[in-house]
Structure formats: structure tokens, C-alpha cells
Amino acid sequence: MQDNRLYSFLALAGASPLVACAVLLVDGVETIPGFGSLDVLACSYGLAIVSFLAGAHWATYMFKQSETPFNLFVSSNVVFLAVWFAFVLASLDVALLTQVLAFLFLLFVDHRMLLSGLISRNYFQVRATATALAVASLLAIVIVH
């Protein structure tokens, strides 16, 4: 039970910087002294979260390869590289929209893992909530940007 509360707290806390950036940008704040532009800050943070989630899939595949619905080594690397290349080479809006797609795809992967019995329903629900917060925040940032 402690683990459920801990990962619920951490997942939702992990989405909060994206929510904060979106709320501040919608409110007209564009930069925070010492941190810089909120849209760039959100994009770099989104990249970090996508990397973290892709790494979690990598670890799942390392330890439960025979139980996973597809090769998570490949999918996690493709997702990470897509968001990284978009961050480095594309416009900020393209990078943010690529992250939206990545978050949704990673949630789809988690849904497949739920159906395979690799993750619990509670964990998936927490991930879905955190993903909804992240996606809504990133889309708000794109619209305001």
C-alpha cells in the first residue's frame, strides 16, 4: 500500500512542473528569472519525463522480456530519439507536439502491459492521470505559444 501512495504521489508531482508552466503561460507569464522561458523549460522537462518513462519500459523489458507484448528496447529508443531530435532540430511547437504523441504512445504501451498483467490497474490509472495532465499542459503551451 505504501508503494501505491508513493508512486501515485511521484507521478502526479512529476506532472506538476508542466501544469505550472502551462498555467503561468496562460496567465501571461513568459519567463521566470533564473529559469528562463517557460515554454522552453516545459519542453526540456517534458524531454526528461519521456526519457524517464522510456527508461522504465527498457527496465521492464530487461527483466520480463518473455512477458512483454512487443520489444520495449526498440519502442523506448524510437520514442526517446523522436522527442530528442524534435527538441534539437525542430521548432518548439513541433517539439512539444512530438512530446504529446510520445506521452500518448507510452501510455498505449502501458495499457498493453496492463492487459499482459505486467502492471497493476492502479498504476495504469495513475499513469493515465499524469499523462492527461502532461498532454493537456503541453497542448495549452502550444496554443499560447
Mean pLDDT of the chain: 93
Instruction: Report the candidate in 77, 97, 75, 76 with the shortest Cα–Cα distance to residue 86.
Output: 97
Q: Please say whether the beta carbons of 98 and 82 come within 8 A.
A: yes
- Rounded distance, CA 127 to CA 72, Å? 17
- Rounded distance, CA 99 to CA 144, Å? 16
Residue 1 reports pLDDT greater than 80: no
Per-residue pLDDT reduced to its tens digit, 4-38: 788 889 889 999 999 999 999 999 999 999 999 99
- Which of 20-29, 54-63, 80-89 shows the lowest mean pLDDT across its residues? 54-63
Residue 90 reports pLDDT greater than 90: yes
H helical segments located in the chain: 2-26, 38-64, 72-89, 92-115, 121-144
Instruction: Report the candidate in 134, 133, 142 with the shortest Cα–Cα distance to residue 50.
Output: 134
The residues spanned by each domain of the chain are: 2-144
- Rounded distance, CA 87 to CA 127, Å? 23
- Rounded distance, CA 103 to CA 51, Å? 10
Residue 130 reports pLDDT greater than 90: yes
pLDDT band at 51 (very low <50, low <70, confident <90, very high): very high
